[in-house]
Amino acid sequence: MSFSLRSLSARRYRIEGDLPSVESVDFARRLTDRRFEPLSPHEERTFGWVTVDNCLDARFEAGSTVRGPCTVFALRVDKRRINSRLLRAMMDLEFRGRKKDAERDQEGQGASGAPAKRPPGRVSRDERAEIRKALTAELLRNTNPTMEVHPVLVYPRDRVVLFGALSKPANELFRAAFSDTFDVTLSALTPFHRALELLEGRGGNEALAAVRRTDFSRAPSAFDGALPASVAARTTRSEEALR
């Protein structure tokens, strides 16, 4: 498993809706319908489900994802990122070549007496867009994709899902993919929401009404401003001893 040799940092979600039995054919079919498909030559991103044991295996059978009290699989995301600096350099070389060709053609037209149509090397907006599009497609074909694999643990009895990533983009993608696959919704199971569940029927809303969100920030350092008097005195004595 992708999480068996280290600790797991995950976000928790509560399943809202009817989830198919994790041992059923329907559950495996839904994963198969949304399985990972490799990137095509012109795609920049693709994602889908894979088995948790092997990121290259996207075959699911009834009960194959069950591990004890939970069922496990993974979300694989492949991306191609074009280096913008490389793209600009390639466009610059293309424009230089076109300028030289235009100057050469103009010299030929001048020798023959034919009037020049436009200044040499001048590239229109449409031509620039076409060049950029063609070079982008070429870079996409020659760029190897990066791969991310995030484990997913589903506890059907508790109706809880653990997703092995903390970043906001990854979680937004996971929630959308999970909801689209199983026709359910996921609500964030934060400590506050978990406390509300545990205190349901026992005045939980009233007990937690005063709780407010806190933004954590770096505490001011003693060296950000003037030194405290005691520290300044010790510093002065040390400097005098060294004289």
* Paired tokens of 52: 């948790």
Q: Angle at CA 116, nearest 5°, toward 113 and 120?
A: 130
88: left (phi over 0), alpha (psi -120 to 50) or beta: alpha
The radius of gyration of the chain from alpha carbons, rounded to an integer in Å, stands at 30
**Per-residue pLDDT at 184:** 95
**Per-residue pLDDT at 1:** 47
* Paired tokens of 168: 């906001």
C-alpha 151/C-alpha 32 separation (Å) is 16
Extents of the domains making up the chain: 11-80+147-198, 84-141
**Per-residue pLDDT at 222:** 53
**Per-residue pLDDT at 217:** 63
C-alpha 151/C-alpha 170 separation (Å) is 12
Residue count of the chain: 243
**Per-residue pLDDT at 6:** 61
**Per-residue pLDDT at 165:** 93
**Per-residue pLDDT at 189:** 87
Consecutive 10-residue averages of pLDDT for the chain (243 residues): 63 94 95 93 89 93 92 94 80 79 69 54 77 80 86 94 94 96 92 71 65 63 56 57 52
CB atoms inside a 10 Å sphere around CB 132:
15
